[in-house]
Amino acid sequence: MGLELKPEEQEMLEGKHGKAARKAMEIITTLGEIYGAKRLIPVSSVQIAGVSYDNLGEAGLEYLSEMAEDGQTRVLTTLNPAGMDMLEWKKHGIREDFAKNQQRVVDAFEKMGVVTTCTCTPYLIGNLPHYGEHIAWAESSAVCFANSVIGAFTNREGGPSALAAALTGVTAEYGLHLEENRIAQVKYEIHADLKNTDDFGLLGQVIGKRTGKTIPYIVGIKNATTEHLKSFSASIATYGGVAIFHMEGVTPNRTTIPDVVEVVTDDDLRTARTELDDEEAEIDFISVGCPHASIKEIAEIASILDGKTVAEGKTVWITTAKPTKDLAMKMGYYDKIERAGAFLVADACCAVAPLKGRFTGLMTDSAKACFYARGKNKFKTEIRTVEECIREAIS
Ligand code: F3S
């Protein structure tokens, strides 16, 4: 039996709710048919990726403008990072022509009713589903965090399919929307000392590479903060393509425990660190906040930078969500960071901003940021703790 549609869904497909809703429903039903879904299910939250004009280009912008002619979101929808801080882009060295186009992208989303705050940590700023809720998110680290740490149900959507879910309020029921596809397949015993976000990023790199798309069940992690888990989610999704993990005593999903066992040791983490450390890296760019920094991380960074000055020839980006930046302004953290010569950058990140050719060496606490810095921007990289990154900036 094929995909069954409810009357309203059928109406959307027939164009009775406008052109954009028809296109959106075509995308969703096509995906549903490809993946053998039997029905569509409502989603309560959407997060759309592919927002940077650097990735979208003119063709992407044209598509969005067309959808914005009569498209309207039906559920809470936020955006992934754009290519620049939507307000302070000039002082971050973003070109005017790029800024104009990026603004046109965000305007198109806004016209459709999208809440145009651009972040990969929507769960820190109010786009927060609960356990068991079906959602349609696109950014890989956020998807992994939502499925694993929150226990919400989402596939990793592409930009167009996430927008389609926003405009119809539904998604096709397949993949990680079904309990049976969320069961752990390999057990990972962690015999390693994990202290900081960089360690959790390296753990994600080790497990991600080994596990590929098989779902891990991780044991041996005694304490993990939200910051650790967002770093881990980003890294395991980047290096392994896995969109869900289970962590015993930490994450909420029910699963059986697999018989196949893998072990991760301190040596594995050391090897992973060596892989991300380019010996000849000359650090001229320090970026923290991948995934976007929490207010707790920003407070810590502000206290290290307070009264200090960023060394000449070095640029520092602390990337975060706009509402978190606003809070940092209220709390005086922004002033401490910016007085030191570092930038608190909202709405953007070091991977999706147009930074190619501007720097040669990135120091970061994020294994995911290293991946994109090398691949997309051809920077050399070094991975350190947040504190070491900031100390490097002022040395
Ligand atoms: Fe977020 Fe950009 Fe990192 S989207 S996870 S800060 S690469």
Per-residue pLDDT tens over the stretch 269-314: 999 999 999 998 999 999 999 999 999 999 999 999 999 999 999 9
Ligand 1 mutation pick, 79, 120, 156, 236, max ligand atoms within 8 A of CB: 120
- Closest C-alpha residue for ligand 1 atom 4: 120
Question: What whole-number distance in Å separates Cα of residue 343 and Cα of residue 302?
Answer: 11
Task: Specify the ligand 1 atom closest to the Cα of 292.
Answer: 6
pLDDT digits (tens, 9 = 90+) for 186-197: 999 999 999 999
pLDDT digits (tens, 9 = 90+) for 154-168: 999 999 999 999 999
Atom 1 of ligand 1, residue of closest alpha carbon: 291
Q: List the residue whose alpha carbon is closest to atom 3 of ligand 1.
A: 290
For residue 332, report the distance from its CA to the centre of ligand 1, in Å. Answer: 25
Q: Does ligand 1 come within 6 angstroms of the Cβ of 291? A: yes
| Phi, psi (deg, nearest 5) at residue 71 | -80, 140
The rounded Å distance from CA 85 to ligand 1 centre is: 14
Nearest Cα to 146, choosing from 72, 239, 223, 44? 44
> E strands along 3-121, which residues?
40-42, 45-48, 76-79, 115-118
Ligand 1 atom closest to Cα of residue 142 = 5
In the chain, the domains with their CATH numbers are 7-179 (3.30.499.10), 183-275 (3.40.1060.10), 277-394 (3.30.499.10)
Mean pLDDT of 54-78: 96
Hunting for tokens 């973003």 — which residue is that?
94
| Mean pLDDT of all residues in 338-342 | 98
Cα of 207 from ligand 1 centre, angstroms: 19
Evaluate if residue 395 carries a pLDDT over 90: no
CA-nearest of 205, 204, 215 to 180 is 215
